[in-house]
Structure 1
């Protein structure tokens, strides 16, 4: 007969301890499971029930109060944006141009929207082309008979271009607003890099106007750079003055005179910037935010529960109303839109950047998708790597070869590599104030032997040929090596101008006359045959739909092709946007702490320039230098 041996007291203690620990573990797991189950049920209830939107009533004011930069494409994922919005955290926000235009266009015809209120203090506007598109959309709302009221505390001249389109513009009595003109100034590093640090930067380029890399080799802008910049900037600025004068029913020359006489005018106003803006007829009155709110409450439907005392709907809430009407099962033929925004780099790149692989893949998907009948490429880019630009251009050519028309819509900036990816389109649209051109190539190689010598470090060794290790940046750059690099850059320029000539059906000599790295406004580019027509994104969409014979608007759908969002991110963003999700996250200290660590921090200009220099010298297989088609031509 077998007997079970009895455990000793020590063994019994550890067995009991293990039993307690095992029970505790199962209990914790069960708590987590049921907690997640409860959260899931709340999500389903929120999405199926309220959906985060309230019914839109009659006599509602649409309040547009954008926070952050105006962009073509979000640079963060939907889950992160929804997460931060749910907590009321607006720092690091972005507003998509397409969303703003869509909201204004819908409000124009929506009988429930009585008026539009613009609060533009926190808008970080970018270039003039996108602002002019928004300004035109605001003007259409006003032309439809609806009142547009703009209010600001401190407005810059870019924000004011939008405010000027309103029926009435009000400024805080203690606020300010100045028109000052356009300027473009950069830091120059030759003395700091070469004389102070001992870093020798070797520049190889084609085109006397190709000034993107000048800050690394000069102490001040070259005469050619100043000549070219002032030429296109004056064109853009005169158009700005004309737009403001037209909207405010003023004389453009008088507006310009007011800027020229700024010191005397402000002195006469005893330093009161708001009063000076009123005297110049740039605003209609001086009111506090509370006074504007009271005025709108008297004109519209009073609502004691609303922030300013009148019935209103926010931009985000109104956009959700519009998105709720989208039919996910729409079977109409598609015009695809691919956004190419930011610098052009090799490989896969996140949103807000253009990748030679990732952007080309989106274009290839459009070519292979039988539902996509035509494509619009929306370009807002200063350019970047030549090879990555060529990868994208080839896909544009592939779409056309497959029988799918392609039209380019240029945004604020489509220069250098941004023009490279645009040139093969069936038609190129730009705003007169778009910045484009800059057809040129350059390469940069910094060498560090003198810098290393300052700290007693030297490079030495052997090679099987005189060119082995010749591109090592710790060694002096030999003249023969510089000759090789310049030959490569010359070839890149021939490729660029040759492809433009072929695409634009011009001779290489004709293209060279308007190339050589020179930057043009959209109006100047059209005069020189680099752009086909003036217009915005909607003009480009209508054009490409006609080319594909898709019929009248309404017989086709417009679909933005972007990287697929993981299912969990979609699920999480819908939950965070719901009212239940918002309340949950607003009271989560952990969530707020995580959000603070994810907030982007803007780098100073110097850090950006040095980062660009670092990226320019990253080794590339098979070539002595990374050829760049890049333009530092913003303002």
Structure 2
């Protein structure tokens, strides 16, 4: 017996020796060389895949770095905000147009992040900061510099001015300083304790005007025929397309409401500055002669007329604040101050979450257009959805609709009005607060509220309807093109803009306009508890100031947004501490993250990267309003509007 154990498995047999045939096959099949083109494609594919992975990783880690940086700087910024020192000055230096809400909130946040100007200032931000500073022991006074503020109307300025009055009532001073003041900027500055003007500056109140461009001659030259259908003796919104001048009715109506606005400006400025109104009017009426007599020294003339309290450069302003006890700023420069943006960021960071029932505020600002629209325009669907969202929210005890709109498309306005009516039917009080303008369609969406509040210098009314339809056969004829064919049916082809307007279609469109006017006037009459004839007498497309509208029963009370919120709390039987919530469109995760960035963190990131933004992100659309109205017009159909071109200059 052998000493070795047998293997667990028998070893495999050796491979058989290849036969002659196998040898010949192997000899006939040498190794294949890869095709050069396919090898190139494979290498290219591998390169693209590697590049894709590298780019994705860079993007991932880049975004992660930015998020972590936001969190870190946000925490640092919050600590800085909590360290607003005693005896600080709240520096209010608004830049851009005064608005009810940002037309592009994400763009505004990115502009702040980059250190660029946002070109828009929310009324609520100004008012909120001033009211909070009134009870903030760390804020000793306000310095107001409105050189770069652009105001579209006087009602929003009056809202901010009322907040300044409340601040002054606590015993704290407000010093307004500027290099130059137009009449809107001066209107706001007149609420200050003291107005200082740069020695090379000016104050130039000019009065009010409403001039428009008229396009009829141009349209005649190019062969475009505009067919206007309207109801309302004073409904002049579409006159530029059918006339080459303003109608006498339009001029008469404009003179009346502009005169009312100017009277309000004079009386309120005179009261704030403690000047006799008649003397103030006379000095402005003779301003050209007085400037000539002062040899062009407008600053000295403003001082002599008591429009300002002193002349001072910015350095002299700082010296005066230091003499009044304001400590020097960082590194001994300037004075100890906190900017409006940084102060508002602090207010937002310490505002507690409040789940109690309160007042919901929906802002309706801009033109009324069908469908879903971004902020800055009122969408028939989107704004109605915001009101519906507020109504269905169990925390909504009352609704305030803040309206700043010249109107727009009739059907879109009706969609919003219906939501207002349904909110009232649900037992939720609705208060309308009118801003600078709430006319035509802006009044349409307001009329079913429990109460309507307007400022004395709000522009409202313009209850009227018009429709436009244009045809271009003459324009085609000028280039030798003609339209011809057949139609089956009484109205077939009637809305073809290449053919002359059929009189039967004109009758149809005018009937639609007549019905729209009856619905508008009838709806106002029912909402205001009046008969059709009494509303018709003050409608007819005529424009009124808020004070004139109150006297004619179109407005219930004079007051601003804060008064409307107080009335809403009262109607809903809420306490004075009931919260106020703005109902706005959801910005998405990224939008919320960007807009929630506090000012210190945003500026730190922007300055560290030296970021700049393209001008189009902060530009304001200043196209001609008459032409802008037609942006949403559809060819081949009548376009029905409740719109008012009534913003003074």
Q: Place the TM-score, normalised by the shorter chain, in its bin.
A: over 0.9
Q: Kindly indicate whether the alpha-carbon contact (under 8 Å) linking 2:495 and 2:501 is maintained by their aligned counterparts in 1.
A: yes
Does structure 2 conserve the Cα–Cα contact (< 8 Å) formed by 1:64 and 1:118? yes
**Deviation per CA, 1:30-56, whole angstroms, max 9, x where unpaired?**
444333333332222223343384311
Matched, 1:569 2:591: yes
Cα distance in 1 for partners of 2:589, 2:459 equals: 38
The answer to whether 1:121 aligns with 2:140 is: no
Tell whether 2:409 aligns with 1:385.
yes
Partners of 1:68 and 1:281 lie apart in 2 by 28
CA apart distance, 1:308? 5.7
> Is 1:89 matched with 2:111?
no
Structure 1 distance, partners of 2:536, 2:53, is 75
Match of 1:58 in 2: 86
What corresponds to 1:584 in structure 2?
Answer: 605
Query: How far apart are residue 481 of structure 1 and its match?
Result: 1.7
Partner of 1:396: 420
Counterpart for residue 34 of structure 1: 61
Rounded to whole Å, the distance in 1 between the matches of 2:243 and 2:69 is 62
**Secondary structure, aligned partner of 1:491:** helix
Q: Distance in 2 between matches of 1:214 and 1:16?
A: 69
CA distance in 2, matches of 1:512, 1:123: 39
Shift of residue 455, structure 1, vs aligned partner:
1.5
Judged with a 3 Å threshold, the aligned counterparts in structure 2 of structure 1 residues 32 and 368 are, in CA distance, closer, same or farther, namely: closer
Displacement after TM superposition at 1:8 (Å) = 5.2
Listed as ranges, the matches of 1:444-463 within 5 Å are: 444-463=468-487
Please say if 1:240 is aligned against 2:272: no
Is the partner of 1:331 in helix, strand or coil? Answer: coil
Instruction: Specify the alignment match of 1:76 in structure 2.
Output: 104
Q: Is the 8 A contact 1:300 1:310 kept in 2?
A: no
Query: 1-side partners of 2:600 and 2:538: how far apart?
Result: 55
| Cα separation, 2, equivalents of 1:616 and 1:169 | 47
Per-residue CA deviations over 1:172-210 (Å, capped at 9, x if unaligned) read 11111111111111111111212x222111111111111
Q: Aligned partners of 2:173 and 2:311: how far apart in 1?
A: 18
Which residue is equivalent to 1:610?
Answer: 627
Aligned: 1:228 with 2:253: yes
Q: Is the 8 A contact 1:187 1:215 kept in 2?
A: yes
Counting only pairs closer than 5 Å after superposition, residues 307-456 of structure 1 correspond to structure 2 as 309-328=334-353, 330-456=354-480
* 1:16-70 residue CA offsets vs partner (Å, 9 max, x unmatched): 8877776665455444433333333222222334338431111000000000111
Instruction: Give the match for residue 507 of structure 1.
Output: 531
Query: What does the per-residue CA deviation read over 1:555-614, in whole Å, with 9 as the maximum and x for residues that have no partner?
Result: x21111010120112223345x4645533333547x52x533434353343xx3223235
1: CA distance between counterparts of 2:32 and 2:583? 68
Aligned residues: 619
The superposition leaves residues 431-484 of structure 1 with CA deviations (integer Å, 9 ceiling, x where unpaired) of 111111111100011211111211112222210034211111221112222111
Structure 1 distance, partners of 2:508, 2:401, is: 35
SS of 1:352's equivalent in the other structure is coil
Equivalent residue in structure 1 for 2:95, among 62, 67, 70: 67
Aligned-partner Cα distance in 2 for 1:466–1:395: 37
TM-score (norm 2): 0.91
Between 1:27-36 and 1:111-120, the stretch displaced more is: 27-36
Q: How far off is 1:211 after superposition?
A: 0.8
1:492 maps to which of 512, 516, 522: 516
Deviation at 1:130, TM superposition (A): 1.2
Q: Aligned partners of 1:154 and 1:193: how far apart in 2? A: 41
Shift of 1:152: 0.8
Deviates more, 1:375-384 or 1:319-328: 319-328
Change (3 A) 1:306 1:548: farther
Q: 1:543 and 1:601 mapped to 2: Cα distance? A: 34
- Give how far 1:263 is off: 2.1
Q: Which has the larger radius of gyration?
A: 2
Cα-to-partner distance string for 1:261-294 (whole Å, 9 max, x where unaligned): 1122111110111111111110111111222122
Q: Residue 632 of structure 1 corresponds to which residue in structure 2?
A: 645
Task: Tell me, in whole angstroms, the C-alpha distance in 1 between the residues paired with 2:418 and 2:363.
Answer: 16
1:595 is matched with 614
Large movers: runs of 4+ above 6 Å: 3-7, 9-21
Task: From 330, 346, 350, give the equivalent of 1:305.
Answer: 330
Is the Cα contact below 8 Å between 1:290 and 1:308 reproduced in 2?
Answer: no
- SS of 2:77's equivalent in the other structure is coil
What CA distance in whole angstroms lies between the structure 2 residues aligned with 1:438 and 1:372? 32
Q: Distance in 1 between matches of 2:371 and 2:535?
A: 30
Q: What displacement does 1:390 show?
A: 0.8
User: How has the CA–CA distance of structure 1 residues 580 and 366 changed in structure 2, closer, same or farther, with 3 Å as cutoff?
Assistant: closer
- For residues 378 and 602 of structure 1, the distance between their equivalents in structure 2, rounded to whole angstroms, comes to 22
Stretches of structure 1 that go unaligned for 5 or more consecutive residues are: none
* Higher deviation after alignment, 37-46 or 625-634: 37-46
Contact 1:46/1:52, CA 8 A, preserved across alignment: no
* 2:115–2:606 Cα contact (<8 Å) kept: no
Q: Specify which of 147, 162, 186 is matched with residue 160 of structure 1.
A: 186
**Runs of 5+ in structure 2 lacking a partner?**
1-14, 16-25
Structure 1 length as normaliser, TM-score? Answer: 0.93
Distance in 2 separating the partners of 1:306 and 1:81: 30
Quick one: structure 1 residues 298 and 5, their matched pair in 2 at CA, closer, same or farther if it must change by over 3 Å? Answer: farther
Separation in 1, partners of 2:123, 2:332: 26
